[in-house]
Chains A and B, each alone.
Chain A
Amino acid sequence: MDNKWYTLSAFVRVGFLLYGIWQDATMRVKFTDVDYYVFTDAAQFVTEGQSPFLRSTYRYTPLLAWILTPNIWVSNVFGKLVFIAFDLLVGHLLYQILHNLGHSKSTCQYSALMWLFNPLCATVSSRGNAESVIAWLVLMALSLLLQGRIAASAVFYALSVHFKIYPVTFALPIYLYLGMPSEEMSRSSHKARDAGSQHNEKISSRSNILQVLLSLGPNKKRVVFISTAAAVLGFLTAIFYWMYGWQFLFETYLYHVVRGDIRHNFSPYFYLLYLTSSPESGVPLCLRLLVFLPQAFLLLALSFKLYRHPGLCWFLSVFVFVAFNKVCTSQYFLWYLSLVPLVIPDLNMKLSGMIQLVLLWLAGQAAWLFPAYLLEFQGQNTFLLLWLASLLFLAANTFIVHRIITRYHPVKQKR
């Protein structure tokens, strides 16, 4: 892709960064993300030879605090520049993945630009949010997996899980994908699909599932992937456990699993959990199960049905995971935004149709944000409205998933 686009998007981000320095110095409301102060404080502890977990609400890998120690030694914009660099790398990687899948140059470029000039992504990294690093790790894992470089993919996959626990939702799709025969695997890329003839592909979805059930056992690729990922993840976990103890395990991994925040959030379950959470024993077990089951089952269903299309499957998995999660904040939306550009080129949908979906997604958030603002900043009792809005948002998200699944046609590719 033309270098001018990278340069321009880098300028946009550095512009935001400079503006942020000005706003932080003059206004009480900070441009910089709250988490960035957390990272920097944690890096401070690290430079003093102490545990980054001494900073309350530091719930990330110690690697991040280590990477950001120049925030203390050199300048506190260092971390933001790192995040911006990863942000640009994500754009480039999106281009490469789509290119390797056999999409036309212009399609690849448009998709990459969709990331590079998305105002949301640009502000997120220049505000000092680390999501771009995780997005890059996830995309690296995907890219290498599609190229058949399984061990390398496993390394990046393990790193991404180590950074943020959510990529575990890709574990099953990856496992299933690695069970596909090699020639079929490469056929999931369009180049091969176009070249190869499309005989013997008339398989009904029912026999599909049966086949899958029969082919669940380990094979060489699966063993390579699992052992590499386990080794990397195990090594990182062991070394940090040895250095920082139980607190590392709890804050980096377990907290995200057991997190039971009763404060208002986008989750359709938030008011339910708030009302049923008792000060002594928390939420009753049966309810916790009822909340967890749909999410778990949908992830299973998506994995088994769509594992042949890793880009789509990963996107939908994390999208559904976030939509049905018991805690859902806008930061979680970033987890799937970096996968959107991989899906869009294969959607058999007009531009206006896509814009409608985006607007629906934004409208769902706006319908929630308004009562949330009234509650949080005006002190009005809007719990019921907020709850209805969270259900509406789930419905909107479901409609989006439905549209994407029904309009996904990777074969019908226009060149």
Chain B
Amino acid sequence: MEQIITAFLLLLPVIASGALSKNHFVVERKLSGNGFHRNLETVIHLPNKLRAQLAGPGCNLLVYQTLPSGVYADPFQIRSLRQFGFPEVIFDSVVDIEAAEYASKAHELFMFIELSAYKPDKITGHLNIEIFLPIHARYHAPSSREADVEPRARISMLHPGLYSNCSQPDVNNFLRAPCSSNSHVYCNWAQVSYICYSPQVEMSIPVGEERHKPLVVTVSLFVTAVIFALLCKTIYTSQIDVPDKES
């Protein structure tokens, strides 16, 4: 009996999603790849029932994503992905793609989804919108924690905000944001609530170890000094300008 209850509880989200997803957006989140270069995947399911209301002509979605100081999206890379169907994006600030984490601030992306560009699923009539946002980790300050073996920096990404320009009557949460990617006019975007079963996405990247410092500084300087001395000797004793005896 206990097992059945546990199974039921475990399945509850799945069952609930089936029931709720007819009336709600469902968002799935995933982070793919390893290392410093990742893809932040966001899949938005727009159920058939809401499609008529929110995906009419001229209706767009705005996906609002905050990226913490530990990562960045490269505006120029994203622009080059336009030809592969990536949405138009506006950044809230200039992104320095070379700066370290400690010299950077979080930045925000406004991604404009043109709903008319997506075709509904033939069977369910749902709209599935996939966004693969390439993000890159910044270098972080070295770890000073002695106990850590191969320390890593953790970076977690908040879930996105979802907004629509075709307002629903019962919404009172609005975001002032550009009306479109090529517009300087601001619009009121109505917040759209959604269900997300994915946990908050997180990544970790390796960082240098503070305890290596004495070793690295001494050995680097020693090795470069020895090599420097050897090169000086080679240069000083070179016979290039001394003519050959036989000639």
Contact = CB atoms under 8 A, between A and B. Distances in A.
B121 interface: no
B228 A269 contact: no
B11 interface: no
Contact of B81 (A28, A301, A376): A28
A268 B244 contact: no
B164 to A, nearest CB: 29
B9 interface: no
Contacts of A305: 235-236, 238, 240
A375 B94 CA distance: 27
A381 B34 contact: no
Interface string A287-304: 100100010011001100
B238 A298 contact: no
Contacts of B204: 379
Interface string B31-54: 001111100000000000000000
A279 B102 CA distance: 6
Contacts of B241: 201, 203, 205, 208, 308
Interface string A187-225: 000000000001001111100100000000000000000
A243 interface: no
A271 B235 contact: no
A376 B35 contact: yes
B232 A271 contact: no
B213 A302 contact: no
Of B33, B96, B142, B224, most A-chain CB atoms within 10 Å = B224
B223 A398 contact: no
Interface in A47-80: 56-57
Given A198-B247, A271-B212, A377-B35, A57 B98 contact: yes
Interface residues of A, number: 64
Contacts, number: 158
A67 B188 CA distance: 44
A30 B220 CA distance: 36
B208 interface: yes
Interface stretch (A3-11, A121-129, A166-174, A406-414): A406-414
A387 B232 contact: no
Nearest to A305: B235
A411 B247 CA distance: 8
A117 interface: no
Nearest to B219: A391
Nearest to B228: A294
A356 interface: no
A376 B36 contact: yes
Contact of B210 (A275, A380, A395): A275
A30 B217 contact: no
B243 interface: yes
Contacts of B83: 25
Contacts of B20: none
Interface string B44-88: 000000000000000000000000000000001000110110000
A137 to B, nearest CB: 27
B35 A395 contact: no
B196 interface: no
B228 A383 contact: no
B240 A272 contact: no
A398 B228 CA distance: 9
Contacts of B6: none
B139 A272 contact: no
A164 interface: no
Contact of A377 (B37, B95, B234, B244): B37
A201 B35 CA distance: 60
Contact of A409 (B94, B98, B103, B244): B244
B221 interface: yes
Given A306-B238, A378-B35, 11 more contacts: A38-B76, A198-B247, A274-B142, A275-B212, A275-B213, A276-B217, A305-B236, A379-B206, A391-B220, A395-B223, A410-B240
Interface of A: 25, 28, 30, 37-38, 41, 56-57, 198, 201-205, 208, 261-263, 268-269, 271-272, 274-276, 279, 287, 290, 294, 297-298, 301-302, 305-306, 308-309, 312, 320, 324, 375-384, 387, 391, 394-395, 398, 401-402, 405-406, 408-412
